[in-house]
Amino acid sequence: MPDFLLYALLSGLGVALVAGPLGSFAVWRRMAYFGDTLAHSALLGVTFGFLLDINLNLAVAVGCLLLALILVALQQNRFLATDTLLGILSHSTLALGLVTVSLFSESRIDLLSYLFGDILSANLTDVVTVWLVALAVLAALMWLWRALLAITVHEELAQVEGVPVTAVRTALMLLMALVIAIAMKVVGVLLITALLIIPAAASRRLTHTPESMAILASLLGCLAVCAGLAASFFWDTPAGPSIVLSATAFFILTLAKQRTA
């Protein structure tokens, strides 16, 4: 296997592994639009990374984390409905990111690679970064698992039982921001939420417990990465969109299975 394909595979598997349980919570808590908003803001992180001459992965991660904290603060004030607030921030940050990125010369920024991913350009540093972040997020999810399930089922009851609802909800948003930051390399800004949501939605139709859904979502995500990279290698298709389409194919298969059950 060529080195570039091996690095791409390892990077994709690292993202898919952590996207499974995190995407499951996104599905349960209906946070898909929140993920879109964070993903669109990642393009601003790219811009600030170039302006400040710092590592782009770090700049994107910091940008996503800051926006997650801003969203938490704005949601607590409740001066706008959450979906309205997310809609405004999602499209305005994407537009601002596109405008500011366009100010740089094309030789410095490949806009399509950030919008649709460039997993085939992953190197050893990217692989190590993805897996370190993925393992850290998985460890945090395991530690917070019961509390996250409690607030997902019923926030008010969880608060009565002593669960720090605001802190746990904030932690979930920050973890999602970290995963979106590392996933941008794999599938790009416009497709990140699909990798989070589609495998989780597919596994939801086949499982009966939260734990089994999270595990199956990770497995489906890993299969989608393998299938998407294979399609890209043999048929010369874009790798990021091919991964998302593979995940979509698995979701369609779950629909067919349920109809024939």
Residue 112's pLDDT is 77
Is 90 exceeded by the pLDDT of residue 86? no
pTM of the entire structure? 0.91
- Domains detected in the chain: 3-255 (1.10.3470.10)
H-helix segments, 53-81: 56-77
**Which pair of tokens denotes residue 255?**
């629909």
Taking each helix axis from N to C terminus, what angle separates 82-102 and 56-77, rounded to the nearest 10 degrees? 150
Give residue 111's Cα distance to chain centre.
19
Amino acid code (one letter) for 142: M
| pLDDT, tens digit, 9 for 90 and up, residues 21-66 | 999 999 998 888 888 888 888 888 888 887 778 877 788 888 888 8
- pLDDT-derived band at 261 (thresholds 50, 70, 90) equals very low
Give SS3 for 261: coil
| pLDDT, tens digit, 9 for 90 and up, residues 155-203 | 899 999 999 999 999 999 999 999 998 888 788 887 888 999 999 999 9
- Give the Cα separation of 66 and 98 in Å (integer): 19
Q: Which residue has the higher pLDDT, 103 or 88?
A: 88
C-alpha closest to that of 131 among 73, 84, 178, 88: 178
Is 80 exceeded by the pLDDT of residue 109? no
Q: Which residue has the higher pLDDT, 247 or 57?
A: 247
What average pLDDT does range 199-209 have in this prediction? 92
Is 80 exceeded by the pLDDT of residue 80? no
Give SS3 for 101: helix
Amino acid code (one letter) for 138: L
